[in-house]
Amino acid sequence: MKNKNKSKGFFSLEPIIAMVIFAVGLLSVVHYQTSAIQNSTNGIYRMSAVNLVDNLVGTINLDRENLANYASNSGDEYQNWLETVKDSLVLDDNYPPIIEVVEEGTGKLVNITLSWKNAGTNVISSYDTSIRLN
């Protein structure tokens, strides 16, 4: 008498291994895409910071009489510029924008530092520039 409970199907490991390899590959592509988006956003933030500081430098050059209002955190010009910065970048309260004026002989040296948080991380980036006013 023959055994009637004999299994008629088969189990193959190859499709399961192929699915695992496909899933690992797909996760790698998603991770790469996420990194590319973060790097692109960080580049946009850096470009915005350069433009904001460049605009401030141009404004300071045209409005030298009010230089003290830019250098103090309470001046109207500084506050107006800070609002524009906050609209464009993610700032960290521990790293506020700094405008420092140093007397240098017959002229003044203006140092500007702008720091911001990178996209999706708590990493702080900054952009520094200096201008000499005679």
Q: Which is it for strands 107-117 and 98-104: parallel, antiparallel or unpaired?
A: antiparallel
pTM of the model: 0.72
Asked if 75 and 60 count as a contact pair (C-beta separation under 8 A), the reply is no
The amino acid present at 125, given as its one-letter code, is S
Alpha-helical (H) ranges within 1-74 are: 14-62, 67-71
Residue 127 — φ and ψ, nearest 5°? -130, 130
Kindly give the confidence (pLDDT) of every residue in the chain, 134 residues in length, as a single tens digit, with 9 standing for 90 and above.
556 666 565 668 888 888 999 999 999 999 889 888 887 888 888 999 999 999 999 998 998 888 888 887 778 888 899 999 999 898 888 889 999 988 888 889 999 999 998 877 888 999 999 999 88
Q: What is the pLDDT of residues 4-35, one digit of tens each?
A: 666 565 668 888 888 999 999 999 999 889 88
Complete edge-to-edge strand list for the sheet that includes strand 98-104:
98-104, 107-117, 124-133
